[in-house]
Amino acid sequence: MRILAIVFVFLLSAPVNAGMPVSQLKISGHTLLAEVAHTRTARSQGLMYRQSMEKDSGMLFVFPEAGRHGMWMMNTDIPLSVAFLDEQGVILNIADMMPNTSNAHRSAGAAKYALEMNLGWFAAKNIKAGERVIGLEKVPLAE
C-alpha cells in the first residue's frame, strides 16, 4: 500500500510534458532546473493541469521573437511567479500569478523568455529585475 502511495505522489508531480528538454540555469548563484517550452504546443500547454512542482524547478518559455509577451493561469493549479527575460537573459520584471485566473501578466519590455517558478521563489532568493539568467545559450531555439 505504501509503494502505491509513493507511485501516486510521483505521478502527481511528474512532468506532463515529459518529452520537453530540461536545462540547468543559474541566477545570482542559485541553480535551478527548467523544462524548456520551445515549441508552440509546449508553450500552449505550459504547466497546465499539474498539481505540484519540485522546489528548484520551473519552466522556461522560449518565444520565437522578442516582444511584449503575456502569461496567464488558465487551467494552472500551481501558484507561480514569472520572470520575463530579454534576449541577453536580463530579468525585465517579475510577477506573481494566482491559480486558475485569466488576467494577463505582461513583460515590461521586449522579452525573449519567461521563466515560471513556484510562487515566491524569486523573492525568497532575493532575485530582482536587472539580474541575469546564466545558461540560456544552451536551451533549444523556439520553433
Residues 6+ apart with CB under 8 A from 119: 78, 79, 80, 81, 96, 97
Could you tell me the pTM of the whole model?
A: 0.87
Quote the pLDDT of residue 19.
79
pLDDT of residue 98 exceeding 90 = yes
Which domains does the chain carry?
2-138 (2.60.120.1140)
pLDDT of residue 75 exceeding 80 = yes
Q: What are 28-33's contacts with CB under 8 Å, separation 24+?
A: 28/125, 28/126, 28/127, 28/131, 30/56, 30/125, 30/127, 31/56, 32/56, 32/57, 32/58, 32/117, 33/57, 33/58
